[in-house]
Structure 1
Amino acid sequence: MNWKSCLTFVVSFLFETTVPSETQLAILGQHIVLDCSFPVDKQWDRTRCQIEWKLDKVVVHSFYYGQDHLNDQNSHYVNRTSLYHSDIQKGNASLRLEHATLGDEGNYTCTVHTEMGPKRTSVSLKLAAFYAEPRLKFSTSACGVELLLTTKGYPRPSVQWLTVSGEDVGDDTVTHLSQDTQGLYTVSSTVSLQGAVNKTLTFILKNEALGQEIRRNITLLSGNSVDVSPGVYQERWWFVITVLAVMLKYLKLNKLYRTHL
Structure 2
Amino acid sequence: MLWLFMYILFGDALVATFEVIVPNKHLLAIRGRPAVLGCEFTSGPDLSSLVITWQRQEDSRVVHSFYYQQDQLDRQCPKYHNRTSLYVSELHKGNASLKIASVRPKDAGWYFCIVNNDKGTGRALIEVTYGALYSEPRLSIHVNSSGLKMQFETEGFPKPEVIWLGEHNQNLSYYLEIHDQIEDGLYFIKSICEAQKAVVNVTFTLKNHLLNQNLQRPVCLTYDEDSTDHVIIVLAVLSVVCILLVIGIIWLAVHKQNKERSSLR
Fold-level similarity (TM above 0.5): yes
Instruction: Assess if the C-alpha contact under 8 Å between 2:198 and 2:225 holds in 1.
Output: no
| Equivalent position of 2:253 in the other structure | none
Gaps of 5+ in 2: 237-265
Cα deviation, 1:209-255, whole Å, max 9, x if unaligned, reads 2222111111232336232254779xxxxxxxxxxxxxxxxxxxxxx
Q: How many residues align?
A: 228
- Structure 1 ranges of 4+ moved more than 6 A: none
User: In the alignment, which of 73, 97, 102 is matched to residue 94 of structure 1?
Assistant: 97
Offset at 1:121?
Answer: 0.7
| Equivalent position of 1:184 in the other structure | 186
Cα deviation, 1:14-63, whole Å, max 9, x if unaligned, reads 3211213342122211111111011224xx42111111101121110111
User: In the alignment, which of 155, 167, 171 is matched to residue 168 of structure 1?
Assistant: 171
Instruction: Assess if the C-alpha contact under 8 Å between 2:198 and 2:224 holds in 1.
Output: no
CA distance in 2, matches of 1:79, 1:230: 63
Give the TM-score, by structure 1 length.
0.81
Q: Secondary structure at the match of 1:24?
A: strand
Q: Secondary structure at the match of 1:169?
A: coil
Structure-2 change in CA distance of 1:7 and 1:116 (3 Å)? farther
State yes or no: 1:142 paired with 2:139.
no
User: In the alignment, which of 29, 33, 36 is matched to residue 33 of structure 1?
Assistant: 36
CA distance in 2, matches of 1:161, 1:18: 46
Cα deviation, 1:50-97, whole Å, max 9, x if unaligned, reads 111011211101111222111111000111111111111110100011
Instruction: Assess if the C-alpha contact under 8 Å between 2:207 and 2:215 holds in 1.
Output: yes
Instruction: Assess if the C-alpha contact under 8 Å between 1:26 and 1:128 holds in 2.
Output: yes
Give matches, 1:50-199, under 5 Å. Answer: 50-56=51-57, 57-170=60-173, 173-180=174-181, 181-193=183-195, 195-199=196-200
Q: CA-atom RMSD, angstroms?
A: 2.0
CA distance in 2, matches of 1:143, 1:149: 19
CA distance in 2, matches of 1:231, 1:79: 63
Q: Which amino acid aligns with 1:118?
A: T
Q: Secondary structure at the match of 1:149?
A: strand
Q: Secondary structure at the match of 2:141?
A: strand
CA distance in 2, matches of 1:23, 1:197: 50
| Equivalent position of 1:256 in the other structure | none
CA distance in 2, matches of 1:93, 1:86: 10
Offset at 1:161?
Answer: 0.4
CA distance in 2, matches of 1:214, 1:147: 16
Q: Secondary structure at the match of 1:9?
A: helix
CA distance in 2, matches of 1:103, 1:48: 32
Offset at 1:7?
Answer: 4.8
Q: Secondary structure at the match of 1:165?
A: coil
CA distance in 2, matches of 1:22, 1:114: 23
CA distance in 2, matches of 1:224, 1:177: 31
| Equivalent position of 1:15 in the other structure | 18
Specify which structure has the higher proportion of strand: 1
Q: Which amino acid aligns with 2:76?
A: Q
| Equivalent position of 1:220 in the other structure | 221
Offset at 1:103?
Answer: 1.0
Q: Which amino acid aligns with 1:121?
A: A
Instruction: Assess if the C-alpha contact under 8 Å between 1:11 and 1:116 holds in 2.
Output: no
Offset at 1:188?
Answer: 0.3
CA distance in 2, matches of 1:77, 1:104: 9
Give the TM-score, by structure 2 length.
0.80
Structure-2 change in CA distance of 1:179 and 1:224 (3 Å)? closer
